[in-house]
């Protein structure tokens, strides 16, 4: 285990550690997308996104509202289809089939999670792969694995954009992804592999997980557990990408996570929760060479890449060749 007192070499890294600002990178992508959307509009095309929201999950309502808001800001057509919690699999399949047939809809987003009575895999499989802007359909996953062009899951695509635009070297780097989900862990590992990184996928059952993580030049934490990744996981100078979005709701948890809990406790009192990533927020600042904060790191890129996928789907479905 690493000594909790940072040696001189690590102290130098503390001074040069970079915050990888997801909001700034999102804004760069929005400007690029605005130019592409204007080009499509000159060709008589307005890309369209349909978001299907089933049930009363508060977080899902926030996510969909933010996606619709960004569509409006960019000049995309968007539709929000809200269905009750008791919606059946067959009813949801019918909605998806109708959207598949509508030519003005280029992207279909089925917001997860779905109510327990709905067969989520059947619903996601029913989305036309050409309109699958979440990148979850097996056709698009197959394209990703085989290195063919296709729609890529949004959060993994956003992670690669952060690394590229922050000029973090991926070619030849040792990369470790903690987490093996179909939505983040597996696809980001594949994308890193396509960038010529040497990739390890680790998870909750990996033996000596901290030691495996410490080998990484690029460490992606996507395991969904607040502050699991502490200083013992981080190689000095590594780039740490924190995908986690965890809400801490008790003072006891705050005190366990933060060495100086005063500010987080004040936030807890004001808001009722504190947002924490999968990485211990104080340790990463002291050990990493560069890192994404929570909030303001990976999160903003997820919606930006959804917009990018929608524009790409519109271009490819309608066979528009870019003049860029």
Active site residue 30: no
Label each residue of the chain as H, E or C: CCCCCCCHHHHHHHHHCEECCHHHHHHHHHHHHHHHHHHHHHCCCCCEEEEEEECCCHHHHHHHHHHHHHHHHHCCEEEEEEECCCCCHHHHHHHHHHHHHCCCCCEEEECCCCCCCCCHHHHHHHCCHHHCCCCCCHHHHHHHHHCCCCCCCHHHHHHHHHHHHCCCCCCCCEEEEECCCCCCHHHHHHHHHHCCCEEEEECCCCCCHHHHHHCCCEEEECCCCCCCECHHHCCCCCEEEECCCEEECCHHHHHHHCCCCHHHHHHHHHHCCEEECCECHHHHHHHCCEECCCCCCCHHHHHHHHHHHHHHHHHHHCCCCCCC
Query: Of the listed 67, 131, 186, 235, which one is catalytic?
Result: 67
Active site residue 67: yes
Query: Of the listed 36, 106, 111, 283, which one is catalytic?
Result: 111
Tokens of residue 224, six digits: 């969904």
CA atoms of 87 and 83, how far apart (whole Å): 7
Active site residue 11: no
Kindly tell me the burial class for residue 259, based on how many C-beta atoms sit within 10 Å of its own C-beta (0-12, 13-18, 19 or more). exposed
Query: Of the listed 106, 134, 217, 278, which one is catalytic?
Result: 134
Q: Among all residues, which ones are annotated catalytic? A: 67, 111, 134
């Amino acid at each position: 285990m690493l000594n909790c007192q940072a040696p001189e070499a690590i102290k130098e890294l503390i001074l040069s550690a970079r915050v990888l600002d997801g909001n700034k990178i999102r804004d760069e992508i929005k400007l690029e997308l605005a130019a592409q959307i204007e080009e499509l509009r000159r060709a008589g095309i307005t890309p369209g996104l349909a978001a299907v929201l089933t049930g009363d999950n508060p977080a899902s309502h926030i996510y969909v509202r933010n996606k619709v808001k960004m569509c409006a800001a960019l000049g995309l057509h968007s539709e929000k289809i809200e269905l009750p919690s008791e919606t059946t699999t067959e009813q949801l399949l019918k909605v998806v089939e109708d959207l598949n047939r509508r030519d003005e809809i280029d992207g279909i987003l089925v917001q997860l999670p779905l109510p327990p009575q709905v067969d989520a895999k059947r619903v996601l499989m029913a989305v036309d792969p050409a309109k699958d802007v979440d990148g979850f359909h097996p056709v698009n996953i197959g394209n990703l694995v085989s290195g063919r062009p296709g729609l890529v899951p949004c959060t993994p695509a956003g992670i690669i954009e952060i690394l590229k635009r922050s000029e973090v070297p991926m070619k030849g780097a040792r990369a470790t992804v903690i987490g093996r989900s179909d939505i983040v862990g597996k696809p980001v590992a594949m994308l890193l592999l396509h960038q010529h990184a040497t990739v390890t996928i680790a998870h909750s059952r990996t033996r000596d997980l901290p030691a495996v993580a410490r080998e990484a030049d690029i460490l992606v934490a996507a395991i969904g557990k607040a502050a699991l990744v502490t200083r013992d996981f981080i190689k000095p100078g590594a780039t740490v990408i924190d995908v986690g979005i965890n809400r801490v709701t008790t003072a006891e948890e705050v005190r366990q996570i933060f060495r100086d809990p005063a500010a987080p406790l004040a936030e807890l009192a004001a808001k009722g929760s504190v947002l924490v990533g999968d990485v211990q927020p104080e340790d990463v600042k002291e050990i990493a060479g560069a890192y994404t904060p929570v909030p303001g790191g990976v999160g903003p890129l997820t919606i930006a890449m959804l917009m990018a996928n929608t524009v790409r789907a519109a271009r490819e479905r309608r066979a528009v060749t870019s003049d860029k």
